[in-house]
């Protein structure tokens, strides 16, 4: 298998994780000021995850375990060089498996408006209720939910 999902732990993997997030989620969107020292990245129930393709950093996300059977997927990013080749779907499936192993059965995400179609195609639904307090409101994002069935 060419793809692997790891929890970021080593200094080298932290550098790759932040480089991908800074490039994809800030620079490509014309933003500046990415902060690679945010303390919430290293909280015990937050899981910074790095997708590797053929041993190289390919994508990132962070899974926050709310410890009530729910979790929040944050800041999903796939590198430009391999975008559109199915790695987003692979990352989505691997995060679901990782969440399931943690005992999470419901996931939430604030999907960027231009990514709503991707999420809908992978089984996510618009969330219309009261989302978890920690999901927060994000501009130009659509709150979505997915129940993990294994």
Name the DSSP letter for residue 129. Answer: S
- 35 pLDDT above the threshold of 70: yes
Which two structure tokens, joined as six digits, stand for 99?
């969440």
- Position 139 scores a pLDDT of 75
Please provide the DSSP assignment of 73-112 as one string. Answer: EEEEEE-GGGTTSSHHHHHHHHHHHHHHHTT--EEEEEEE
Q: Burial-class residue 105 by CB neighbours within 10 Å (0-12, 13-18, 19+).
A: middle
What's this model's pTM, rounded to 2 decimal places?
0.93
- 36 pLDDT above the threshold of 90: yes
CATH superfamily of 3-147: Gcn5-related N-acetyltransferase (GNAT) (3.40.630.30)
Which two structure tokens, joined as six digits, stand for 87?
């790695």
- 150 pLDDT above the threshold of 90: no
Q: How do residues 47-100 score in pLDDT, each as one tens digit?
A: 999 999 999 999 999 999 999 999 999 999 999 999 999 999 999 999 999 999
């Amino acid at each position: 298998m060419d793809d692997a999902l790891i929890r970021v732990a080593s200094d080298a993997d932290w550098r790759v994780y932040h480089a991908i997030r800074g490039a994809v989620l800030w620079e490509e969107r014309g933003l500046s000021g990415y902060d690679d020292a945010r303390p919430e990245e290293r909280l015990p129930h937050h899981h910074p995850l790095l997708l590797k393709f053929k041993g190289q950093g390919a994508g990132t996300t962070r899974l926050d375990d709310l410890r009530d059977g729910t979790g929040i997927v944050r800041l999903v990013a796939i590198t430009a060089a391999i975008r559109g080749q199915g790695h987003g779907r692979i990352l989505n499936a691997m995060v679901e498996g990782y969440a399931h192993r943690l005992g999470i059965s419901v996931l939430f995400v604030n999907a960027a408006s231009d990514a709503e179609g991707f999420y809908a195609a992978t089984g996510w639904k618009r969330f219309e209720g009261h989302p978890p307090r920690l999901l927060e409101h994000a501009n130009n994002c659509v709150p979505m939910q997915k129940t993990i069935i294994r």
